[in-house]
Structure 1
Amino acid sequence: MNIYLYVYLGSLLLTLMMTPAVIWIARRLDIVDIPGVRHMHTHPVSHIGGVSFFLSTIILSTAALWFSNFAGIAGEPALRQLRILLLSAGFMFITGLIDDVKTNGLRARIKFIAQIAAAVMVCAVGIRIKSVVVTDSVALNFGWFSWPLTLLWIVGVTNAVNLSDGLDGLAGGICAIACGVVAVFAASTGNVAVVVLMLALLGSVTGFLYFNFNPAKIFMGDCGSMFLGFTIASSSVLCFSKSSALVGLALPIAALGVPIFDTFFSMLRRFLERRSIFSADRSHFHHKLIDLGLTQRQVVIAIYGVTLLTSGLGMLMIVTPGIHVPIIFFCILILLLLIFHVVGSVRLEQIKAAMQKRYMIIHREHEERKNFEEAALYFRRAATFDQWWQAVSTAAGKMEFWTVDLPLVNRDGTSRALNWRYNGSGPDPGPEGLIQVHVPVRDRRSGSSLYLRIELYKNGSLESAGRRVALFTRLIDEHDINNLRIERQDSKHFGVDRAPLYS
C-alpha cells in the first residue's frame, strides 16, 4: 500500500516541479496558443503541458514496476504488455507534440492514422476486448472482431479526450477521475501493473491541474490529451482483458461518459451536416453550458460533478451481483442522454430532421447526376449546331430550367435568338424562385463570346441550383460548339449531311 502512495505523491510532486520549467521553455520558444474564434482564453498560453505529466508518468511507473519487487508481483507477461502500451502511448505523445509545435499542426488524417497504428501495436500483444461476460450465464466471444472493436474503443476514447480539452482544467479533471476509477477496478482484480500506471498518471494529472485550472497558465495540448486518452483507454482494455467482466468495460465508459457522448454526437452532427467529422465547431457540451450563462469555472465544476456521479454509480457495479450490472450500466447511459438533452447538446427531433434532410439531399444529388448522364448522351450524338441546340434544350428540361436564350448573329449581320421555355405543368415560380445565370459560349466564326442566358428553379435549395448549373456548364464545356466543325469534316466519310452553323 505504501508503494502506491509513493507512486501517486512522487508523480504529483515531480509534475509540480517540472511544469513551471515547461511553461518557461514554451514561452521562450514561442510555443503558445493564440486566442481565436474557437478559443475561450484571451491571451497567449503555453500549450505543451503534456510534456510534464508524460515524463512524470513514465519515470514513476517505470521506477515502480521495473526497479522494485512489483516486477515479480506483476509478472513478466503483464510487464511485457505494459512496455508495448507505454511505447505506443509515447508514440501518441510524440505525434501530439509535433502537432503542437508545428505552425499549422498536423492534418487530422495523419493524426488519425497515427492513432490507429498505435492501437494496432497494443492489440498485437493481446490487449484486446476478446469477450464480455454479461451475466453468469451470458457471455459474448468476439473472435476476430475483437481487433476492430478494440481499435474503435482506443481511437474513440483518444479523440474524445482530445476534443474535450476545450476549457481550462476540463480534460485533466475528467481524466483524473477516470484514472482513479480504472485504478480501483484494477486493484479489485489484482492487476498490479495497471494500478501503478493509473496512480502515476493520476498523480501527474493532479499536479498539472494546479497550473491548468482556470485561469490556466498552461494547456496540455494535443501531446497531453492524446497521451492521456490513449493511456487510459489501453489500460482499461488491459485490465478488462484479465477478467472479461462487463463492469471492466462499463466502468471507464461511465467515467468518460461526458467526452464519449459529446464526441459521438458531435461527429454524428457533422456527418448529418455533410461536414468533415474532424472539423471544429462550437457545439460541444461545454459550449452549450456556457451559452446557458455559466462561467468557465462553473461549467468545468458542473462537468466534474456529472463525471463523479456517473463514476460513483459505476462503482456500484463492482459490488453488485451479475444481473444488476447491465441494469446499472443502462441507467447510467440513460442519465447521460437526459443530461445532454436538457443542456441542449442533443435534440432527438433535430437529429431525425437532419437525417431526413440528408437523405433528401443524397436522393436529389442522385437524380441530378442521373439526369446529367442522360443529357450527356444527346450532346455526344450532336453532329450539327441544330442538334447541339436540341441537346441544350433537352438538358435544360432535365435540370429543371425555366428558360434558356441564346442570341445569335446571322451571316448577313442581322440578329436573332434561340429560345427554350419550360412547358410543363406547375405554378409560375416568380422572380424570387428563379436564379439567372449567363454562360459564355465562344462563337467559332467570329471568336467573340455568345452568352446562354439561363433562368432555373431554385427548387428550395441554392445548393441544388448551383449543382445543376455546374453540371450543365460541364456539358457545355465538354461539348463545345467549336468542335462541331471538326466533327463535320470527319463525318463526311460517313455521308452525314451537315446543316450550317447559322442561317
Structure 2
Amino acid sequence: MMEKVILFALLMAFLITVLLSPLFIPFLRRLKFGQSIRIEGPQSHQKKSGTPTMGGILIVLSVIITTLVMMWKYSEPSFEIYLLLFVLIGYGLLGFLDDFIKIALKRNLGLTSKQKLLGQIVIAVVFYIVLKINDFSTAISIPFTDFQLELGWIYPLFIIFWLVGFSNAVNLTDGLDGLLSGTAAIAFGAFAILAWSGSQYDISVFAVSVVGAVLGFLVFNAHPAKVFMGDTGSLALGGAIAAIAILLKMELILIIIGGVFVIETLSVILQVASFKTTGKRIFKMSPLHHHYELSGWSEWRVVVTFWTVGLLCSILGIYIEVWM
C-alpha cells in the first residue's frame, strides 16, 4: 500500500509543477519578476538577466498540496509532517521576502544579512520548541558507530546551526541552470529511501514530494533555464532537508548526503578567509561551481559533474546508514 502512496506522491508533485509552470512563468514575466545578475559574476551569465525568478513558489506549493493530500487520504498527518511543512513554508516565505525586495524594490541584495539571519533563527527556535514539547531526543548518532552523543542543553544551538547553516548552503548552490534542482532531487531522494527503510513513511512521502516537485521544476530550469527558483525555493529546500535529517536522527549523515552543499559552502569560507588574511584568492570565483566555469568548463558540464558527485555522496550516505 505504502509503495503506491510513495509513487503517487512522486507523480502528483511532478505533474503539479510541470502543468502549472507554463502558466506561472508567463505570469512572472508579466509582473517583470526577472532575475538581476550580479555585475561581479561570470560575464556569460549576463544574458540570463530578466529570466523569471521566484519559481520556488511552485515547488513549495506542489510539496504542500501533495503531502497533505497523501496524508489525509492514506493516514493521519503526524507532528513531523506539520513540522516539516512549517520549516518549508517558513524558509520559503523568508526567501520570498528576499526575492521580492530584490525585484520589486530594486534592492539587488534583498534582505540584509542580519534580517535574513534573524528570520532563519526564529524559525529554527520554533522548530526546536515543538521538538521539545514532543520529548524529542537530544542525542545525535555518530556515523560508522553505534554511539550516540548526548548534547543536552547544547542541542537547541545545534538545531539552529543545522537549519541556518544548511538553508544557506543550499542557497549558495543555486547558481547555475538546473544545478540545485538536480542535486536537491538526489539528496531528498536519498533521505526518502532512508526514511522508508526506517519505517518513517510520512517523512518519506514528504521527501518524495520534494523530489517530484524539483524534477518537475527541472524541466523548465535545465539549461537554458526558462525560470529560476530564487531564494524562495533554495532557502525552503535547505531548511527542509536539514529538518528531515534531524527528525530521522540522521543529522550528521546530512554532511555526506549533502556533500555538494557542504563543499560549495566551504569554498566560500576558504575564499573569504584566504583573501582577508593573505589578499590572495584560492579559487577564480566562489562558490566552487563558478571556479570551474571560469576555468573553461561549459555550464552543462559543471552541472552534470556536480550531479554525479551528489549522487555518489548520496549512495555513500545510504550505505553507511543502512548497511554499516
Q: Give TM-score, length-normalised by structure 1.
A: 0.57
Give the Cα separation in 2 of the matches to 1:125 and 1:197.
18
More strand by share: 1
Q: Letter of the aligned partner of 1:96 in structure 2?
A: G
Summarize deviations over 1:153-179 as a string: whole Å, max 9, x none: 111110001011110011111110011
Q: Letter of the aligned partner of 1:235 in structure 2?
A: I
1:2 corresponds in structure 2 to 4
1:131 corresponds in structure 2 to 139
Give the Cα separation in 2 of the matches to 1:269 and 1:138.
35
1:42 counterpart SS class? helix
Q: Letter of the aligned partner of 2:116 in structure 1?
A: K
8 Å CA contact 1:174, 1:255 repeated in 2: no
Which stretch has the larger CA shift, 293-302 or 100-109? 100-109
1:120 corresponds in structure 2 to 125
1:20 counterpart SS class? helix
Instruction: Write the mapping of 1:53-452 to structure 2, written as runs, cut at 5 A.
Output: 53-65=59-71, 67-71=72-76, 79-102=78-101, 103-104=106-107, 105-126=110-131, 130-134=138-142, 138-240=147-249, 248-271=250-273, 273-274=275-276, 282-321=285-324
Instruction: Write the mapping of 1:476-491 to structure 2, written as runs, cut at 5 A.
Output: none
Instruction: Write the mapping of 1:459-478 to structure 2, written as runs, cut at 5 A.
Output: none
8 Å CA contact 1:183, 1:199 repeated in 2: yes
**Higher Cα radius of gyration:** 1
More helix by share: 2
Deviation of residue 274 (structure 1)? 4.2
Summarize deviations over 1:210-256 as a string: whole Å, max 9, x none: 0001100000000010111111111111112xxxxxxx234322221
CA-based RMSD of the aligned residues comes to: 2.0
Give the Cα separation in 2 of the matches to 1:184 and 1:273.
41
8 Å CA contact 1:56, 1:204 repeated in 2: yes
2:140 counterpart SS class? strand
8 Å CA contact 2:99, 2:230 repeated in 1: yes
Deviation of residue 87 (structure 1)? 2.1
8 Å CA contact 1:182, 1:251 repeated in 2: no
1:140 counterpart SS class? strand
Q: Give TM-score, length-normalised by structure 2.
A: 0.87
Mark the runs of 5 or more structure 2 residues left unpaired by the alignment: 278-283
Summarize deviations over 1:184-214 as a string: whole Å, max 9, x none: 1101111111101001111000000000011
Compared with structure 1, are the counterparts of its residues 141 and 180 closer, same or farther at alpha carbon in structure 2 (3 Å cutoff)? same
8 Å CA contact 1:57, 1:204 repeated in 2: yes
Deviation of residue 86 (structure 1)? 1.2
Give the Cα separation in 1 of the matches to 2:145 and 2:63.
37
8 Å CA contact 1:99, 1:222 repeated in 2: yes
Q: Letter of the aligned partner of 2:269 in structure 1?
A: M
Q: Letter of the aligned partner of 2:293 in structure 1?
A: I
Aligned residues: 302
Give the Cα separation in 1 of the matches to 2:146 and 2:248.
22
Mark the runs of 5 or more structure 1 residues left unpaired by the alignment: 241-247, 276-280, 322-503
8 Å CA contact 1:186, 1:194 repeated in 2: yes
Q: Letter of the aligned partner of 1:155 in structure 2?
A: V
Q: Letter of the aligned partner of 2:256 in structure 1?
A: A
Deviation of residue 292 (structure 1)? 2.4
1:18 corresponds in structure 2 to 20
Summarize deviations over 1:350-397 as a string: whole Å, max 9, x none: xxxxxxxxxxxxxxxxxxxxxxxxxxxxxxxxxxxxxxxxxxxxxxxx
